Structure 1
Amino acid sequence: MKNKVCILGSFNVDIVARVARFPRGGESLMALGSTLGPGGKGANQAQAASRAGAKVHFVSKVGKDQFSRFARDHLSSSGIHSFKLYQSEEEPTGNAVIYVSQENGENMIAIYAGANKTVTDNEVAELAKELTDAGVLLLQLENNFSATLNAMKLANTLGVKVIMNPAPYSADIIPALQYMDVITPNETEASLLSGIEVTNLDSARRAALAIVELGARCVIITLGARGALLYENKHFIHIPAFPALSVDTTGAGDAFNGALAASLADKQPLAQAATFASAFASLAVEREGAANMPDRRQALNRLQSKI
């Protein structure tokens, strides 16, 4: 199937509070507003990849609670091509509490993974039939790592390109770098993975080289307002950021990764795919809500405006 992306990832219920600024320790603040909506890196990236033009098959796991129907209803109405939702007998649907500061659009997030951490070997094995005609498998680290590792190995066996978004960071990925075609840490994750604090382009270059030394094939370090740094085949390419009026950065990384996967599944070169993903992410930060993604046409228009 042309442009097909498979995603094994998390579904969370996001409880978002908009605040004038982040509270200090022990301080209570009156929120300016709050919402309850769909989230989780897996679900957000599935939405992004779908809106960016890919045919997406999404696999996740929820609890047997009031939010499981919420998850199914959201995915059914999302435009995602297909999905499979497993249910945990022991754990609730994952959830996240998010503060979004109105000062600068930055966010603070606390996540309880719940059912996302209970994906079984058999559930991963069932992904094989969907991977057989896919171009890309996109993964993050909000599921139990044993399942994520098995999914990578399965994709490698079937010749499917693996993109790893190592968030939230875990050192578990270091022995598994060999199974990833592209790894996409942000500044914090790249710092933790490489042992080099990433603060600018120069330190990002040194971190990327260190990550490759650990066994990575190709690295894209996302740098927020500074764009992204790509290291591929012993060459660096700086992917510029696109000007944006930042409203909510919560879903920026998910927008980038979903759009990158969609573009790679469309057989675009990596630098071109990363540039498209940068344009797509710049549109995402202009919207409230991590799951509120732009579409392919809007991203292409923004790309064209930069040329």
Structure 2
Amino acid sequence: MVDSVFLTFPLVDMTVPLDGELPVRAGTTTPIRTVVNEPGGPANILIAARRMGCSILPVGLVGDDYYGSFLLDAYRREGIDTSRLKVRPGLETRKVLVLVDRNGQHAYISMLEGAFEPLPDLEDLMASTRSLCLSGYMLMDRGTGSEIMRAVRLARKLGRAVFFDPGPLIPQIPADWMDEVLASSDAVILNDEEARLLSGLEGVEEGARAIGARTAGRVVVKAGPGGCHIWEDGAGYWYPGFSVPLVDTTGAGDSFLGAYIFAALSGWDRETVALFSNAMGAAMVSKRGSGTQVPTFGELVKVLEDGGCAVPAETRRRGRFGALTLRRELDNISKA
């Protein structure tokens, strides 16, 4: 049994580090030194979870082109099961042009229209997983989304956890589907801007409360360096972020989600889940790029310990996380 099934469409990040600042203006020339290809989007979630010891099975399509082969090879090197990633002849593998400026801010130029096929063995697939991971991108199209909604209904029928990331294109998701997925989710994980779009409210706490009224599970609002806010059982809780040098914000939210799925399925308490996920997001923004640049075990431990969280010596020795309880000892924050 796998920890989670992720119905998705894989894509490649083509990262362009800019010498200048965003935005790029028409009629000007902005110098660059390189273009780097990395597995992007869902790969950040998959790799973050895998490096922590969580098995997420991606299900979707890639093209029979260079980029499709690039993605499959990269996934396999990370130990990710690619048996449910089908190669479709004639399909162009999805790509995102990621512009990253010298301040670490990014802009995406994306191929947003995905491709997905009906899954005749979906019941068997959902019976063989502990949870379902779902992105709002997969719900924007009625044709693709109908199969995703079938998976959500099966997950609830079978008692599987549902982790839902609505994404930035919330207005394009059919309202009836959004209502049903929210009501079916064990955790809704989104950033502060997405919470505003979904709730229609400006404040993080107000937005989380409004979304919480639409779901029986947790609402987790990522607030960048501010950490995250969790709304659960009628109450809200803030968990602080970790101070790191800002290099590149690309993939931070996805990495947070991969860590969150691992931590939640590990049965850790709410504070430990939040601090662990915050640390993963912080470790990610301190590096440039996505995909294989997702933080390692050692990099995550360093952020936790520098930020005042004690990691057991046995965990560090074994190089993997088992039972874990994290608390923030602010007096022990590293000044390095």
TM-score calculated relative to the size of structure 2:
0.81
CA contact (8 A) 1:8 1:42 kept: no
| 1:140 matched to 2:135 | yes
| 1:184 matched to 2:183 | no
CA contact (8 A) 1:63 1:91 kept: yes
Q: Deviations over 1:180-223 (max 9, x none)?
A: 111111111111100012xxxxx111111111233463200100
Q: 1:12 is matched with which residue?
A: 11
One-letter code of the match for 2:186? D
Structure 1 residues 146-295: aligned runs within 5 Å: 146-171=146-171, 172=173, 173-197=178-202, 203-215=203-215, 217-291=217-291, 292-295=293-296
Quick one: higher RCO (CA 8 Å, sep 6+), 1 or 2? 1
User: How far does residue 64 in structure 1 lie from its aligned partner after superposition?
Assistant: 2.6
Instruction: Write the distance in 2 (CA, Å) between the matches of 1:302 and 1:126.
Output: 42
Give the CA RMSD over aligned residues: 2.2
Going from structure 1 to structure 2, the CA distance change for 1:58 and 1:67 (only over 3 Å counts) comes to same
- Size of the aligned set, in residue pairs, is 296
CA contact (8 A) 1:255 1:280 kept: yes
User: How far does residue 140 in structure 1 lie from its aligned partner after superposition?
Assistant: 1.3
- SS of the equivalent of 1:79 reads coil
Q: 1:118 is matched with which residue?
A: 115
Instruction: Write the distance in 2 (CA, Å) between the matches of 1:246 and 1:268.
Output: 28
Going from structure 1 to structure 2, the CA distance change for 1:187 and 1:267 (only over 3 Å counts) comes to same
Going from structure 1 to structure 2, the CA distance change for 1:32 and 1:249 (only over 3 Å counts) comes to same
Going from structure 1 to structure 2, the CA distance change for 1:206 and 1:130 (only over 3 Å counts) comes to same
Instruction: Write the distance in 2 (CA, Å) between the matches of 1:24 and 1:32.
Output: 12
User: How far does residue 84 in structure 1 lie from its aligned partner after superposition?
Assistant: 1.8
Q: 1:299 is matched with which residue?
A: 300
One-letter code of the match for 1:299? L
CA radius of gyration, larger in = 2
State the identity %: 25
User: Where does structure 2 lack aligned partners over 5 or more consecutive residues?
Assistant: 139-143, 309-328, 330-336
Instruction: Write the distance in 2 (CA, Å) between the matches of 1:93 and 1:299.
Output: 31
Q: Deviations over 1:221-255 (max 9, x none)?
A: 10001111000111111111011111111010011
Instruction: Write the distance in 2 (CA, Å) between the matches of 1:64 and 1:259.
Output: 31
User: How far does residue 76 in structure 1 lie from its aligned partner after superposition?
Assistant: 1.2
Instruction: Write the distance in 1 (CA, Å) between the matches of 2:209 and 2:305.
Output: 32
Instruction: Write the distance in 2 (CA, Å) between the matches of 1:65 and 1:243.
Output: 41
CA contact (8 A) 1:5 1:265 kept: no
One-letter code of the match for 2:231? Y
CA contact (8 A) 1:57 1:130 kept: no
Instruction: Write the distance in 1 (CA, Å) between the matches of 2:245 and 2:90.
Output: 42
Q: 1:200 is matched with which residue?
A: none
Going from structure 1 to structure 2, the CA distance change for 1:135 and 1:270 (only over 3 Å counts) comes to farther
- Following TM superposition, where does structure 1 have runs of at least 4 consecutive aligned residues deviating by more than 4 angstroms? none
User: Where does structure 1 lack aligned partners over 5 or more consecutive residues?
Assistant: 198-202
User: How far does residue 298 in structure 1 lie from its aligned partner after superposition?
Assistant: 3.4
- SS of the equivalent of 2:300 reads helix
Instruction: Write the distance in 1 (CA, Å) between the matches of 2:222 and 2:148.
Output: 22
CA contact (8 A) 2:132 2:155 kept: yes
User: How far does residue 113 in structure 1 lie from its aligned partner after superposition?
Assistant: 3.2
- SS of the equivalent of 1:34 reads coil
TM-score calculated relative to the size of structure 1:
0.88
CA contact (8 A) 1:50 1:81 kept: no
CA contact (8 A) 1:10 1:40 kept: no
Instruction: Write the distance in 2 (CA, Å) between the matches of 1:254 and 1:242.
Output: 17
